[in-house]
Chain A
Amino acid sequence: MQTQHLLNRLCFGGRIQDLSNPEAAIWRDPHAAVKQLFAEIPEYQPLKSYSKEFMLDASEFARVEENRKVYPNSFDEITHNWLRHTADSPNPIVEKAALFWMHFIPVIGESELRVKPLLEIYRKNALGKLESLFFDLFLNPNFMNFLTAVNSSKDSPNQNLAREFMELFTLGVNNYTENDVRELARCFAGFVQPDEKIQTLTLNAENQDFGEKTLLGQRKAYDYKEAIQWIIAQPRTSKFIAKRVLRFYLTTEPTEQMIHDCAVVYQDSGHEFSALLEFMCKQAWFYTPKYMGNKVKTPMELLLQFQHQTGLRTYGLMCHWHMQRWLGQQLFNPPSVGGWPDGNQWLNGSVLVSRLTLLSDLLHISNRTLPKNGIAYKTHSWLSNFSLRLFRWNMDAKFNEDEYLDTLEKNGIPEAYWMMGSRFETLQENEKSSLRLREILQHPYYQYC
């Protein structure tokens, strides 16, 4: 139970091989699992391309190539590669953390050429130091263009990046003055992109402001790196990020104590993200029953947890594109620099309808193509290697819903929820299994993790 919760939050649920093996070491106790997961974090490697490998057939490949001509700036292949890689990853702590950063510092992608290095910046720095992440981002043309910070020069510099940097990425709103915004904008002036083909920005001394600036009460001739370091060093920053981390990983309503404890650890570690995560996963409050099974999955969690737990994979490039679109969360296409909503907002309006129907839609159309919009989905080895045990949801018709919800509120998720109803053990036919699976996927419980 506790390990399941840990896997749901720190990764994308357990993998099919773990879930189908109750004897696996990982289930014994969550602390041992934390230790094992952090010890086995894979070394950073750039993403490989999955586009050809998982193309449905030659005609889809031709269509994608055709699309590429019509939409030369499309970066669907990059996000598809990441989703495929993450679904396959035996230990996706890094990818989940990268997803946190994509939520926390959301950027609208410009093109394949621009998004590729940007995604790698999130992945490479996901568990590392905050400072390195920002230093890399500030030299990335896509990130800097999005915040209109390229070609800003010392005479009346553009304040966009300076404001959002303090409001959204470090201090939080109301923890700086309008004067701080203007002064920080001076520190951030001077970035240029001398060559469109080279995906790294440089500084142009003519546009830089080498004068003294007053930033959060301290006067100094900051350059952009010193300004970033000075702002990161504020305890407010640790607190702000700790809160966002808790909201992303655990609950939309973290307590002040939890935020404080995490912030202290983060600050003391020199803002090392893995230190903060490991600390969080080892706290007793992380396993409080009221937080278990009570977080609305973001669309990416819904999409990835489904693939991770079932061993099923979407086929073809366009499928991931459609799913992101209908679920309301496209990677590198946030609604604004403020990112996507969280928690219950994902259960609002028509998104709820897409969420409840989409995964089952995909199963329904397994092994065939939906001509209307070209979603193609193929399961590999279909249900033969799929065990319904992983959902452990009792679908007994006599199931007492009220009693169940009472127990749930009192004790957290009871063992019964995770246990399989005995009748499913006997299901052999693919048709029946597929029907049950569909019902599980569109059950309200499946909206939570």
Chain B
Amino acid sequence: MDRRKFIKTGLAVGAATYAAGSLLESCGNSAAVAPKYQGKRLVLISLDGGHDGLHAIAPKQNDLLAKLRPQIYADTQKQGISMSLAGKSDFLLHRNLKSLMPSLETGEFRVIPNAGLPLNEWNGSHFVSQDFWAMAEYEGNRNPTGVKGTGWVGRLLEKDGMQVSKFQRTAIAMGTLTPLVLQGQRVSGIAWPGLEAAETMKSQVESWLSNMTPIENNAVYQEMADLSMVYQWLNQTSPAPGFPASGLGLQLSHAATLIQQDQPFRVIKCSEGGFDTHSGQLKAHDGSYPKLSESLAAFHKFLKTNNLLEQTLVVIYSEFGRTIYENSALGTEHGTAGPMYVMGGGKALSKFTNTPFVFETEKLTGTDTTDYLKHQIDFRDVFRDIQLNWLGVS
């Protein structure tokens, strides 16, 4: 939003409240009437910080892992639960992810191993890589590093195929700011700050809304109206049950409620931090994995119980994987490829055939001595496929 547009559209609000006199003399508020939606949905979950996928699921026997990450791999071998990937039963799942085992076995939770970028495009910075995943642009289209573009979902919001009836903001992020992935050129996704935050703003927002004449394309009005709308939806029922009281658990319980109510969000973005495990990784994951897997399992259960799993596709990813080698602080460094995980019903996941896990390494430069995990799958292709064949937007 540029300054002129903001002042112009915002000014209309100022004028309206001014004309209406005291803000306190307000009465009821009419919520926007939004269309209902029962079609396909995408839930994106980013594991921020660079998640070590090799600690979540690792091959049972691997000499390079034993050599480069002796302590972490010893832990994996000691505590890991036997599981199979693409029909081969020689993998180990981290014990604290065991809540995912049932859906892994039924094929409703699948692993896309070693997703990433070709090494010449890879970047070791969190922020640059997070932007890469959000923009999902092929090299020719991409802005130079440091210049923000638009997110891949944000770009879709302006397309007819993405709208629900005439409703355009069909994406919502759990958080106070709209993340890049939902930012488009003209339209962006809604940011939902949580019930507690919305509660504090409620009375002001409602009095503004009741004093304002709805003005088309008024950014301020729209933010207020949309926030108020989501507040009413999430406040009218008790939160979806069975979710752990963690950051992601709470976000997913809100997502579950919105889906169950047939609200018009085709894309819901959640996130969880704390995966930048430069030190004490065993302890860190022992702390974060139970909450992560229980949140995902609760979401799976909720969707399945309510017959919503078939039309919901959940995609979990991180900006990069971590190094194969461990450091002296029992942590790992910024690496290259890492797994994406998908969760959903059979129809949604049929496109994600069980890709065999290929353990190959490569070096950054000719003189480099460090082994990095080679990427098998370009995440941009995965997102592109979801856009065309799942969301049905071209």
Structural contact, A435 and B22, CB atoms closer than 8 A: yes
Closest partner residue, chain B, to A436 (CB atom): B18
List 24 contacting pairs A-B, 8 Å CB cutoff, sorted by A.
A147-B278, A152-B329, A157-B327, A158-B331, A158-B333, A159-B278, A159-B334, A167-B125, A178-B364, A181-B124, A336-B48, A341-B177, A344-B1, A344-B2, A347-B1, A350-B197, A351-B177, A360-B204, A364-B23, A397-B18, A401-B11, A442-B17, A444-B10, A445-B7
**Cβ of B75 under 8 Å from chain A:** no
Determine whether the beta carbon of A173 is less than 8 Å from that of B126: no
When distances are taken between beta carbons in the complex, the residues of chain A under 8 Å from B365 are: 177, 179
Contact assessment for A350 and B1 in the assembled complex, using a CB-CB cutoff below 8 Å:
no
Once the chains bind, are A350 and B326 in contact (CB under 8 Å)?
no
Q: Which residues of B contact A167 (CB under 8 A)?
A: 125
Give the Cβ gap from A151 to chain B, nearest Cβ, in Å: 6
Determine if B193 is an interface residue (Cβ-Cβ < 8 Å): yes
**In contact, A350 and B227 (Cβ under 8 angstroms):** yes
Give the distance in Å from the alpha carbon of A189 to the alpha carbon of B365 in the complex.
Answer: 25
A158-B279, A349-B177 known; A152-B205 Cβ under 8 A = no
Whether B14 lies near A347 (C-beta < 8 A) is: no
Instruction: Give chain A interface residues in 362-407, CB to chain B under 8 Å.
Output: 364, 372-373, 395, 397, 401, 405
In the bound complex, how far is the Cα of B198 from the Cα of A189, in angstroms?
Answer: 45
Task: Give every chain A residue within 8 A of B6 (Cβ-Cβ).
Answer: 347, 444, 447
A349 contacts B176, C-beta separation under 8 Å: yes
**What's the least CB distance linking B151 to chain A, in Å?**
12
- Complex CA gap A33/B193 in Å reads 42
In the complex, which of the residues A181, A337, A354, A401 has the most CB atoms of chain B within 10 Å of its own CB atom? A354
Cα(A353)–Cα(B177), bound, Å? 11
Q: When the two chains form their complex, are residues A179 and B197 in contact, meaning their CB atoms are under 8 A apart?
A: no
Cα–Cα, bound, A348→B193 (Å)? 12
Contact across chains for B201 and A357 when beta carbons are under 8 A apart = yes
* Complex contact A326–B200 (CB within 8 A): yes
Q: Count the B residues whose beta carbon is within 8 Å of the partner chain — how many?
A: 65
Decide: B224 and A353 in contact? CB cutoff 8 A. Answer: yes
Q: For chain B, residues 322 to 364, give those with C-beta under 8 angstroms from any C-beta of chain A.
A: 325-329, 331, 333-334, 364
Are A444 and B145 also in contact (CB < 8 A) when A158-B327, A348-B188, A354-B197 are? Answer: no
Since A348-B178, A360-B23, A443-B11 are in contact, a sample of 19 more A-B pairs with Cβ atoms closer than 8 Å, ordered by chain A residue number, is A148-B278, A153-B328, A155-B328, A156-B325, A156-B328, A160-B331, A163-B125, A167-B125, A326-B201, A328-B177, A336-B127, A344-B2, A347-B6, A349-B193, A350-B197, A351-B177, A397-B18, A444-B7, A448-B3
Contact A349 B278 (CB under 8 A): no
- Contact of B190 with A349 in the complex, beta carbons under 8 Å: yes
Q: Does the CB pair B14–A442 fall under 8 Å?
A: yes
Residue A439 interfacial (CB < 8 Å): yes
Bound state CA distance, A4 and B183, in angstroms? 34
B34 CB → nearest A CB, Å:
17
Instruction: Check: B220 CB closer than 8 A to any chain A CB.
Output: yes
The reply to whether A409 and B4 form a contact with Cβ atoms under 8 Å apart is: yes
Contact of B204 (CB < 8 Å), options: A348, A361, A445? A361
Q: Is there an interface contact between A372 and B205, defined as CB atoms closer than 8 Å? A: no
Interface residues on A, range: 35 or more
> Across the interface, do A173 and B123 meet the contact criterion of CB distance under 8 Å?
yes
**CB within 8 Å of B: which residues of A?**
147-148, 151-160, 163, 167, 173-174, 177-179, 181-182, 189, 294, 322, 325-326, 328, 336-338, 341, 344-345, 347-354, 356-357, 360-361, 364, 372-373, 395, 397, 401, 405, 409, 435, 438-439, 442-445, 447-448
Could you say which of B7, B24, B208 contacts A357, with CB atoms under 8 Å apart? B208
Q: Is B327 in contact with A156, judged by CB distance below 8 angstroms?
A: yes
Q: State whether B128 touches A173 (Cβ < 8 A).
A: yes
Q: What B residues does A350 contact at CB under 8 A?
A: 176, 191-193, 197-198, 201, 223, 227
A209 CA / B285 CA spacing, docked (Å)? 29
**B216 cross-chain contacts in A, Cβ below 8 A:** none
For the complex formed, measure the closest distance between the CB of A269 and the CB atoms of chain B, giving whole angstroms: 26
B368 within 8 Å of A (CB atoms): yes
Which of A148, A360, A435 is within 8 Å of B279, CB to CB? A148
A353 touching B125, Cβ below 8 Å: no
B132 to chain A, nearest CB (A): 12
Residues of A within 8 A of B36 (CB): none
Report yes or no: B145 in contact with A173, Cβ–Cβ below 8 A.
yes
User: 9 closest A-B pairs (Cβ-Cβ)?
Assistant: A349-B191, A444-B10, A357-B204, A160-B278, A148-B278, A148-B279, A350-B193, A349-B178, A156-B327
Q: Say yes or no: A158 contacts B329, CB within 8 Å.
A: yes
CB-based nearest B residue for A145: B279
Question: Which of B126, B173, B190, B328 has the most A CB atoms < 10 Å from its CB?
Answer: B328
CB <8 Å contact, B10 and A443: yes
Q: Is the CB of A173 within 8 A of B327?
A: no
Q: Inside 8 A of A373's CB, which chain B residues have their CB? A: 200
User: Which chain A residues lie closer than 8 Å to B14 at the CB level?
Assistant: 439, 442-444
